[in-house]
Amino acid sequence: MKNKSLTSIFAIILLSAACAAAGDSALEANGFGPVRIGADIKKLPASSAGLYDKIVSEKVEEFDYEGVEYHLMLNGEKIATLIEDGGKIHAIEVFSDKVRTADGFGLNKTAAEILAAGGTAYCDNYGFEGLLFRGMLFSYIDLSPSGEKKAETAYLEGTDQTFSESDFQPGARPGKITLTAWYATQ
């Protein structure tokens, strides 16, 4: 009886630790696992179980940006890219469906599901950028012709547009989720 009780207690402790670890790795507006907006890039662990197994750095020179990007890899797949500014993580771009919110939102959800859960269209002076949802930008979503027209209007007139499910291609899913300190406040 004594061994059974100890085994049960040990199993509960292990299960609690596993649940806590899973909760810590959930996607939130400021990051996931040890990867957080504002964190010192040099202090990130070289790997994080189940999230990434290595970090690959790449010097980038594009348009008006010059710097280093850090790609989080898991079994050869790019999970996310970290954009650094002054040694700190300035932005996180998630490219893998393996990274999701605690309730399952990630690249697996359609535009319709994100809108139904409270997502709103985000347009700036470049046009339609994506859906803001819980302080994260879900982007690279295929627009329908009506959505393209709204995006063009937003760009040309600098006006906000309200997007609905019909403004997206049926079943359209985001291709990237971007996290920044600014998006987190929206």
Q: Classify 133 as helix, strand or coil.
A: strand
Q: Classify 29 as helix, strand or coil.
A: coil
Q: What is the DSSP string of 44-64?
A: S-S-BTTTBSEEEEEEEEETT
Q: Which residues contact 85 (CB under 8 A, 6 or more apart)?
A: 67
Q: List the structure tokens of 186.
A: 């929206």
Q: List the pLDDT tens digit at each of the 186 positions of the chain.
A: 454 443 433 333 333 333 333 446 899 999 999 999 999 999 999 999 999 999 999 998 887 778 889 999 999 999 999 999 899 999 999 999 999 999 999 999 999 999 999 998 887 766 668 899 999 999 988 999 999 998 888 888 877 778 888 999 999 999 999 999 888 887
Determine the pLDDT at residue 125: 63
Q: List the structure tokens of 68.
A: 């280093």
CA distance linking residue 127 with residue 154, whole number of Å: 6
Q: List the structure tokens of 38.
A: 């504002």
Determine the pLDDT at residue 145: 94
Phi–psi pair at 122, nearest 5 degrees: -120, 120
Bridge partner residues of 130 (DSSP): 122
Determine the pLDDT at residue 46: 96
Does the model's pTM come out above 0.75?
yes
Q: Classify 18 as helix, strand or coil.
A: helix
Question: Are residues 100 and 109 in contact, defined by beta-carbon separation less than 8 angstroms?
Answer: no
Determine the pLDDT at residue 18: 37
Determine the pLDDT at residue 183: 86
Determine the pLDDT at residue 140: 86
